[in-house]
Structure 1
Amino acid sequence: MANRLAQATSPYLLQHADNPVDWWEWEPAAFEEARRRDVPLLLSVGYSSCHWCHVMAHESFEDETIAAYLNEHFVPVKVDREERPDVDAVYMEAVQAATGQGGWPMTVFLTPDAEPFYFGTYFPPSPRHGQPGFLQVLQGVHAAWAERRDEVTDVAGKIVQDLSGRVMPFGDAGDSAPGEEDMAAALLGLTREYDAVRGGFGGAPKFPPSMVLEFLLRHHARTGSEGALQMAADTCERMARGGIYDQLGGGFARYSVDRDWIVPHFEKMLYDNALLCRVYAHLWRATGSDLARRVALETADFMVRELRTAEGGFASALDADSDDGAGRHVEGAYYVWTPEQLTEVLGEEDGELAARHFGVTEEGTFEEGASVLRLPQQEGVFDADRIASIRRRLAEARSRRPAPGRDDKVVAAWNGLAVAALAETGAYFARPDLVEAAVAAADLLVRVHMDEHAGLARTSRDGRAGANAGVLEDYGDVAEGLITLAGVTGEGVWLDFAGLLLGHVRERFTDEESGTLYDTAADAERLFRRPQDPTDNAAPSGWTAAAGAMLSYAAHTGSDEHRTAAERALGVVRLLSRRVPRFIGWGLAVAEAGIDGPREVALVGPRDDEATRALHRTALLGTAPGAVVAVGAEGGDEFPLLADRPLVGGAPAAYVCRHFTCDAPTTDPSHLAQVLNAPQA
């Protein structure tokens, strides 16, 4: 059998390269093969750190009997949802419409015309808990295809017609950005859904509300709302003290299976950690919280230490599962401890202290009496130096355990988020190494992923770009990262690259008539529906990420076209801010920047001058929502904001502007801080 997945750039596809299943990638040849053989296709979608994807692979796709039946009666197609979010989105919409739920692995049966007709997620190999076995499903679908073909194709046609005909309810949103009343309504809606006891929103499972937290911090900065700050600060503290946060190595797991942030689903994703690193850095900027500072830095260090690739980019994820030391692949094995294991590493006295400090009990919070580590709600109960020593010793002992697997493909969008987070965190805390890591990742994105004419490649691996075209979130998040990096480094070339990407957004992703944005380019592969979704998922929606980048670019350059495009794209936020504020968090954060200006800060002076550096640091630490910063020598042409901005009395000066109309310049960092940190009157 030809191993078609052996040359894939996706580690997820490579995990299946040795299956007895005769997998195809998503490509025209697979559908041509299905037509030639007159059989349906099995579309299986997952990702490398997905626990249940691994389970189904082991139970079914490695089973010779199931594989033989699948190969004989179907054309099996394997898709990495992280490489092809467009394929994932359109078929997940079909799964959710048909079953009322979704998830991964996603299992969809298609006609040779790519029309879906039967759906599911994980199937066990044999019937279990009222769920049919996978072989039963295959046999049933094959029988229906062979004996009731007209019925199957009729169902498929109706599903496609229904989904293709759905009109997203954005028509009444208008094409102008939301205003202060919309932000107040969103805050009220979030307050109603807020878990005042545990932090966060909703019940179990509980996901880090990264984009909503950014909105709350920006809303507080603009209005002085103590309620918004309290929700953000309390949620961040609860997560940081919970098991969802890695108390030894830094970084966050994907979500908590309970309402209290205790037991995580252990996979660690780049996008979560980039977003939360930035949130905690911004929380420190607003409050001076020592806990926020520590978490921001530990999360940044985790990304650089465990996710950075040899080429300077950042890998996508770490698996939830790892070897438990007894030859079993177990979720969370790398991270959990029993009291006996603590004593073995630390000795009896420190082992007992560690168990009390980190909440490790005989019963355990996980399987077989093991516990995740979490922190007490009150610090200072135990000697800080002793606890620091315990943490170091436990981390060293854990490093000798079998490590979780790493998905080392570089996803453009998530690397853009990492660039923004590392650049700001490095600037805030005088960590030039973090800024250098951000520069290296940005350089990889420009060199390997970016083509001036073709646009962005979605992924790369080992310095080689994948064949999958970037989607809207790639353009929006990379542009956001590059604009942020330009403000931190004073290198205007990053702003230029961001402008090239946003040119693609306006030309290839924007509906000219309505100003709404599509997730795929106009010249991308045509699926039965062109995906379009302004709501956030695990990361900011491409729609609002692009709108935010266009707003920042307009603030830097004075471009009315980009400002207008951003405001038209934000029209949907007005509609959704009142209905589902939890799911439009990044759009709300961008809207806060638009209402505030955003402020444009031009810093004129030699970049190696201490006075310029003091003004630059003050500007970066300003809490004005979405403020952009340009720094350079008098008469420099790297940033449009610096044009016609002279020194003041021969000294470096800061100009704070809105829409290129500036207040009187200042040479005093404390005055600049007062201007940038004061809520709107």
Structure 2
Amino acid sequence: MANRLAGAISPYLLQHAGNPVDWWPWGPDAFAEARRRGVPILLSVGYASCHWCHVMAHESFEDEQTARFINEHFVAVKVDREERPDVDALYMNATQALSGQGGWPMTVFATPEGEPFQAGTYYPPEPRHGLPSLRQLLEAVARAWAEQREGIIQSAHEVVDHVENATALTAAMIPATLGTEDVETAWERLLPEYDPVHGGFGKAPKFPTAMVHEALLRMAESPVLPRHVREQAADMALDSLEAMARGGICDQIGGGFHRYSVDAQWVVPHFEKMLYDNALLLPAYAHAATLAEGPRKALFTRVADDLVDWLVREMTTPEGAFAAGLDADSQDPLGQSSEGEYYIWNPAQIQQVMGDDDYRDTLRMFQVTDPGTFEGYASTLQLPLDPEEFGPGGLRLYHRARAVLREVREHRAEPGRDDKVVASWNGWMIAGLVRASRWLDRPAWLMAARRAAEVVRDVHVVDGRLRRVSRDGVVSDAPGVLDDHGAVAEAFGLLAEVTGDTAWADHAKALVATAEDHFSAGDGGWWDTADDAGGLWMRPRALDDNATPSGVAAMVAALRQLTRVTGEESYDARADRAVRTQAQLMRSAPRFAGMALADTVGRLV
């Protein structure tokens, strides 16, 4: 029997529609029910492509006994973090404050007013690795709620106060101007975090950080910065992009990039493939190809071509927009769900399909070894050398191996596809396609971008307001957040510039005007949710880039683009005010303000 999630648009919520847990979707009805019954909220947040979300669902939420306990003592609310990033951001801040860490699935206990008092991430069905079982936690919280309710409510108030204070922005944090000195300060902070051996920033796990690479590419082109900074920035960007292009994080035979690398060498990825990563990496590689020379230029161009081929082949919805992502997991030959199964190979498999003449060179070309680089003596595919370096027949072997291995792979059980359409992710993908089509002279990419933009315009704008998510042409009631308005407005503005169709500029201006009317924070920046969105104990406001640009960074990019299209300098002035709200973050933690740094570099004179 289906629960209340059966009518959802979100694939993640639909994955839980058959659970014995009596899930409620996020909304006022769930909180009213908790108040009526006098029980706390169990809030579970995840997303469709999340490996550990699937694990916890199978272990606990499909278990009848666990579900009965949850239904008796809690009102259980399930949230797709990609559909409601505002809910996710607010409770993630609380989870990090309460537990010192965050991640998904996110498990939060809250009062009937929505104020959190206990939080964590994944909990196993039995105690393991220092974690209590989910059942132990549920019982402890239910007992504490029954016996110490007033104390719990007071502690929840304190959590709320802590989160509000931690995210406050004061006038002292906002400078009057940004300039060369700020860029140099950010540069000095960025340098020690760079990995000069393997490229990228930080240690394992290592993320693509496309926004930082864009900042570095702009630094390399800046006529204002010192020569040594320009040259070093170019090396850092190009070396990092090459390392990712040759590593296992890049799908060497199918195109596109996985979520991140679990190691510092880019060898073994977390195998999700998300639209937003690829939307941001496409223009990074196309931009880099304009600066690179020789084999590296060819590599970056090929990576961009492969990424778009994958996008068109596997991620385009019937309506013409782009799906959200692919799961990390797929079924192995025994029918068991296994992470990375679709993408990994062992030497015997290569020999079977490539034949005795070519398999040894194929193993060397793609770094498939007997010990393996992944679990079970299997390897991810890498490309440490250009095919031409394998002799006269290297390029022929490369193309044959890619074609053969991809054909074989297509007969494996495919990863699940999250086919919802997210407004901001499509905005970034559309913008990436437009930019890359100009840099690499690929006019067909512009056509794909326009088709996707038409879907967002026609489906996601309802009564003049932007909605965040649709699926199969049906739009969700989840309201658009700030990054949706910024990313889509930038995409529309780019289409206006490239096509000469001024209607796209009008659509972009309308989205920016909505952001000003409903999201403005009064200090030059914006809240991440609209003033009439409701339902949260606090309006979230994030200044930092994470896997995607922050909402303020997305809006700044949209305003810059509107200035280019319309010639109206008021948009530039508004962007200048907004980016200054990120100044302190850019100076102190530039890895998390890549777009602000890129914008500031672009404004240097």
TM-score by length of 1: 0.85
Q: What CA distance in whole angstroms lies between the structure 2 residues aligned with 1:78 and 1:236?
A: 37
The answer to whether structure 1 residue 475 and structure 2 residue 485 are counterparts is yes
The answer to whether structure 1 residue 335 and structure 2 residue 343 are counterparts is yes
Q: Shift of residue 33 of structure 1?
A: 1.0
The answer to whether structure 1 residue 406 and structure 2 residue 417 are counterparts is yes
C-alpha deviations, 1:10-69, integer Å up to 9, x for none?
A: 000000011111100001111111111111110000000000000000000011111111
Q: How does 1:459-498 map to 2 (within 5 A)?
A: 459-498=469-508
Residues 91 and 116 in structure 1, CA contact (< 8 A), matched pair in contact too: yes
Residues 175 and 570 in structure 1, CA contact (< 8 A), matched pair in contact too: no
Q: Which residue of 1 aligns with 2:83?
A: 83
Q: How does 1:234-249 map to 2 (within 5 A)?
A: 234-249=239-254
Q: Which residue of 2 aligns with 1:420?
A: 431
Q: What CA distance in whole angstroms lies between the structure 2 residues aligned with 1:167 and 1:80?
A: 23
Residues 176 and 570 in structure 1, CA contact (< 8 A), matched pair in contact too: no
Q: Which residue of 2 aligns with 1:556?
A: 565
More off after superposition, 309-318 vs 351-360: 351-360
Residues 287 and 439 in structure 2, CA contact (< 8 A), matched pair in contact too: no
The answer to whether structure 1 residue 113 and structure 2 residue 123 are counterparts is no
Residues 177 and 570 in structure 1, CA contact (< 8 A), matched pair in contact too: no
Q: How does 1:73-222 map to 2 (within 5 A)?
A: 73-174=73-174, 176-222=176-222
Q: Which residue of 2 aligns with 1:51?
A: 51
Q: Shift of residue 378 of structure 1?
A: 5.2
Residues 167 and 541 in structure 2, CA contact (< 8 A), matched pair in contact too: no
Q: How many positions carry a matched residue from both structures?
A: 594
Q: What CA distance in whole angstroms lies between the structure 1 residues aligned with 2:561 and 2:600?
A: 12
Q: Aligned letter for 1:356?
A: R
The answer to whether structure 1 residue 520 and structure 2 residue 529 are counterparts is yes
Q: What CA distance in whole angstroms lies between the structure 1 residues aligned with 2:342 and 2:146?
A: 47
Gaps of 5+ in 1: 597-681
Q: Of 251, 256, 259, which residue of structure 2 is paired with 1:251? A: 256
The answer to whether structure 1 residue 279 and structure 2 residue 290 are counterparts is no
Q: Which residue of 2 aligns with 1:565?
A: 574
Taking only aligned residues, the RMSD between alpha carbons, in angstroms, comes to 1.4
Residues 535 and 583 in structure 1, CA contact (< 8 A), matched pair in contact too: yes
Q: What CA distance in whole angstroms lies between the structure 2 residues aligned with 1:284 and 1:167?
A: 39
Q: Of 450, 453, 456, which residue of structure 2 is paired with 1:442? A: 453
Q: What CA distance in whole angstroms lies between the structure 2 residues aligned with 1:362 and 1:35?
A: 59
Q: Aligned letter for 1:385?
A: R
Q: Aligned letter for 1:49?
A: S
Q: Which residue of 1 aligns with 2:30?
A: 30
Q: Of 575, 581, 589, which residue of structure 1 is paired with 2:590? A: 581
Q: What CA distance in whole angstroms lies between the structure 1 residues aligned with 2:462 and 2:66?
A: 43
Residues 170 and 572 in structure 1, CA contact (< 8 A), matched pair in contact too: no
Q: How does 1:661-676 map to 2 (within 5 A)?
A: none
Q: Shift of residue 427 of structure 1?
A: 3.2
Question: Does the residue aligned with 1:178 lie in a helix, a strand or coil?
Answer: coil
Q: Shift of residue 452 of structure 1?
A: 5.9
Q: Aligned letter for 2:329?
A: D
Q: What CA distance in whole angstroms lies between the structure 1 residues aligned with 2:313 and 2:172?
A: 47
Higher RCO (CA 8 Å, separation ≥ 6 residues): 2
Q: What CA distance in whole angstroms lies between the structure 1 residues aligned with 2:287 and 2:81?
A: 31
Q: Aligned letter for 2:408?
A: A
Higher helix share: 2
Q: What CA distance in whole angstroms lies between the structure 1 residues aligned with 2:119 and 2:161?
A: 17
Q: Which residue of 1 aligns with 2:9?
A: 9
Q: Which residue of 1 aligns with 2:357?
A: 349
More off after superposition, 339-348 vs 482-491: 482-491
Question: Does the residue aligned with 2:388 lie in a helix, a strand or coil?
Answer: coil
Q: Aligned letter for 1:44?
A: S
Q: What CA distance in whole angstroms lies between the structure 2 residues aligned with 1:158 and 1:583?
A: 27
Q: What CA distance in whole angstroms lies between the structure 1 residues aligned with 2:436 and 2:581?
A: 31
Q: Which residue of 2 aligns with 1:365?
A: 373
Q: Shift of residue 167 of structure 1?
A: 4.8
C-alpha deviations, 1:319-370, integer Å up to 9, x for none?
A: 0000112111000000000101111111123222111111111111111111
Q: What CA distance in whole angstroms lies between the structure 1 residues aligned with 2:389 and 2:195?
A: 26
Residues 367 and 381 in structure 2, CA contact (< 8 A), matched pair in contact too: yes
Residues 45 and 78 in structure 1, CA contact (< 8 A), matched pair in contact too: yes
Q: Aligned letter for 1:205?
A: P
Larger Rg: 1
Question: Does the residue aligned with 1:570 lie in a helix, a strand or coil?
Answer: helix
Residues 177 and 591 in structure 1, CA contact (< 8 A), matched pair in contact too: no
Question: Does the residue aligned with 1:381 lie in a helix, a strand or coil?
Answer: helix
Residues 24 and 75 in structure 1, CA contact (< 8 A), matched pair in contact too: yes
The structure-2 alpha-carbon separation of the partners of 1:502 and 1:527, relative to structure 1 and needing over 3 Å to count, comes to same
Residues 2 and 18 in structure 2, CA contact (< 8 A), matched pair in contact too: no
Q: Which residue of 2 aligns with 1:529?
A: 538
Q: What CA distance in whole angstroms lies between the structure 2 residues aligned with 1:162 and 1:226?
A: 43
Q: Shift of residue 555 of structure 1?
A: 3.2
Q: Which residue of 1 aligns with 2:600?
A: 591
Q: Shift of residue 375 of structure 1?
A: 0.8
The answer to whether structure 1 residue 390 and structure 2 residue 395 are counterparts is no
Q: What CA distance in whole angstroms lies between the structure 2 residues aligned with 1:24 and 1:431?
A: 46
Question: Does the residue aligned with 1:347 lie in a helix, a strand or coil?
Answer: helix
Q: Shift of residue 371 of structure 1?
A: 0.5
Question: Does the residue aligned with 1:326 lie in a helix, a strand or coil?
Answer: coil
Q: What CA distance in whole angstroms lies between the structure 2 residues aligned with 1:174 and 1:365?
A: 47
Q: Shift of residue 557 of structure 1?
A: 2.1
Q: What CA distance in whole angstroms lies between the structure 1 residues aligned with 2:63 and 2:355?
A: 45
Q: Aligned letter for 1:372?
A: T
Question: Does the residue aligned with 2:258 lie in a helix, a strand or coil?
Answer: coil
The answer to whether structure 1 residue 297 and structure 2 residue 308 are counterparts is no
Residues 26 and 78 in structure 1, CA contact (< 8 A), matched pair in contact too: yes
Q: What CA distance in whole angstroms lies between the structure 1 residues aligned with 2:582 and 2:165?
A: 23
C-alpha deviations, 1:54-99, integer Å up to 9, x for none?
A: 0000000011111111111111100000000010011100110111
Question: Does the residue aligned with 1:114 lie in a helix, a strand or coil?
Answer: coil
Q: What CA distance in whole angstroms lies between the structure 1 residues aligned with 2:253 and 2:97?
A: 42
Q: What CA distance in whole angstroms lies between the structure 2 residues aligned with 1:88 and 1:528?
A: 13
Q: What CA distance in whole angstroms lies between the structure 2 residues aligned with 1:167 and 1:406?
A: 35
The structure-2 alpha-carbon separation of the partners of 1:177 and 1:523, relative to structure 1 and needing over 3 Å to count, comes to farther
Residues 286 and 440 in structure 2, CA contact (< 8 A), matched pair in contact too: no
Residues 95 and 101 in structure 2, CA contact (< 8 A), matched pair in contact too: yes
More off after superposition, 51-60 vs 33-42: 33-42
More off after superposition, 18-27 vs 187-196: 187-196
Residues 175 and 583 in structure 2, CA contact (< 8 A), matched pair in contact too: no
Q: Which residue of 2 aligns with 1:508?
A: 518
Q: What CA distance in whole angstroms lies between the structure 2 residues aligned with 1:557 and 1:115?
A: 45
Q: Aligned letter for 2:276?
A: Y
TM-score by length of 2: 0.96
Q: Which residue of 2 aligns with 1:314?
A: 322
Q: Which residue of 2 aligns with 1:375?
A: 383
Q: What CA distance in whole angstroms lies between the structure 2 residues aligned with 1:277 and 1:538?
A: 15
